[in-house]
Amino acid sequence: MSNLTDLTVAEIRDGFRAGDFSAREVAQAFNANVAAARSLNAFIVETPEKALLAADTADAARASGDLKPLSGVPIGMKDLFCTEGVQTTAASHMLEGFVPAYESTVSGKLWAAGAGMLGKLNLDQFAMGSSNETSYYGNVISPWRRGGGDNAALAPGGSSGGSSSAIAARLCPAATGTDTGGSIRQPAAFTGISGIKPTYGRCSRWGIVAFASSLDQAGPMARTVRDNAILLEAMAGFDPKDATSLDLPVPQWEAGLSGDLRGKTVGIPREYRPDGLNAEIAALWEQGIEWLKDAGAQVVEVSLPHTKYALPTYYIIAPAEASSNLARYDGVRYGQRDLPDGAGLQDMYAATRAAGFGPEVKRRIMIGTYVLSAGFYDAYYTQAQKVRTLIARDFERAFESCDLLVTPTAPSASFALGEKQDDPLAMYLNDVFTVPASLAGLPAMSVPGGLDSGGLPLGLQIIGKPLDEQGVLNAGLAIEERAGFTARPDKWW
């Protein structure tokens, strides 16, 4: 494996600018790794020629002195982002063969900043899943293996499992992800990388295949906090094509990075200590608290009393929005079309959706349609929206006495593929620590803190006030500096 693929985004950017190597050498090294690691199934589409084209453009720009912020940096693109001229499937049969004639705002911003695309990354179908096992193109495999002779294939987390697996395996230095209820943070924790979900509205949703419109938010995933800051600066910004986009300037998050937390207060939510909390997760959480104290932060206990209702609230609101968003896939306009002989319009709708959607997507559409139906709308959907408001108010009150919150990211380390596939409720519990911040639209980040007794990564989550990505990144940097996490999966693929 080339040493170039061990470099972070910041190291590639700075080394390229210093003339230590060419952008083409970097792109070739990552293209080779992508081709050599197909057994991980991290990519749905590989685009080595696009990575090389961007690299050649960067090399020419270096010669002329016209460099961009991400010149020389190739990245992976989650296959939920529409990419002009490149198949975009949302890991579904429904969109198989769909080649957009336009570029999503976020991916367009990244290309404009000089980044190159290594390919489209696998994910849970329509971003619905926590293990990357619902993809029509097969599950992604984590590059990690549990110690002690257990060689079971492990889940890379979801829905951004292709992104997390590819970064951990050094197939790309960074990637885009999307986070609806934890789909950046949980896979980051499972694979020993970092990822941040910014404040809702920081990044445009235009051109991203929609799951739940009031929750979906794009964000970066990478191996370091600094790399996340660099990528987020390129991704964020107002977009008039997205009505939920925030019309605010993009801060210089990388320049503002500091692991000095003196003057900051970190809250510890007591409700995040459920009965039966994994002992190793609890121990890492205590260690994370000590690291933040060492960085100068004060620590206080806070209460988020409606936390226990967050998961059921999420699994009413998200499926309801999904059932509405996915109604557009009917075989009429684009994507899959199944038209049995002699079939009418309704028959075509039914056949197309039966063939195009996987079991988990169908399950969520059915739940969503049920809670939005006339007889149950007030009993379920309206009540869930009221509880969502209470959850957001809990955070507002907590932030009156602190600047940030620190919690575990996930209730366990990665689990074996297939272990929870037949138990949707057990799978949904993977989001228990990440969903509350999503419902409140808050910025939140996962940073690797250490390994469990089986040698698998565990993550810590930092949650910030609205628009305080800088505070979240700084606390993440403080943990990163003290954790000294350098573990990487042994190459077996």
Question: Catalytic positions, please?
Answer: 78, 159, 183
Q: Which one, of 240, 111, 101, 248, lies nearest residue 176 by Cα?
A: 111
Q: Rounded to whole angstroms, how far apart are CA atoms 170 and 40? A: 12
Phi-psi map region of 7: left, alpha, beta (phi>0 left; psi -120 to 50 alpha): beta
Measured distance CA(326)–CA(125) in Å, rounded? 12
Cα angle 233-234-240, degrees, rounded to a multiple of 5: 100
CB 396 within 8 A of CB 448: no
- CA–CA distance, 88 with 476 (Å, rounded to integer): 32
Residue 347, CA atoms < 13 Å, CB-side half-sphere:
6
Q: In a 3-state reduction of DSSP, which class is residue 464?
A: strand
Residue carrying structure tokens 């997205």: 242
Are 155 and 417 in contact by the 8 Å Cβ rule? The answer is yes
Token pair 């990163």 in the structure block, residue: 480
Kindly report the number of other CB atoms within 10 A of residue 160's CB atom: 36
* CA atoms of 349 and 328, how far apart (whole Å): 10
Tokens of 76: 């992976």
Q: Tokens 């390919």 sit at which residue?
A: 119
Contact 9, 73 (CB under 8 A): yes
Interatomic CA distance for residues 250 and 257, integer angstroms: 15
Nearest to 461 by CA among 489, 490, 426, 430: 430
| Measured torsion, CA atoms of residues 295, 300, 306, 311, in degrees rounded to the nearest 10 | 30
Contacts of 48 (CB under 8 A, 6+ apart): 27, 31, 34, 35, 118, 119
Residue 398 to residue 392: CA distance in whole angstroms? 10
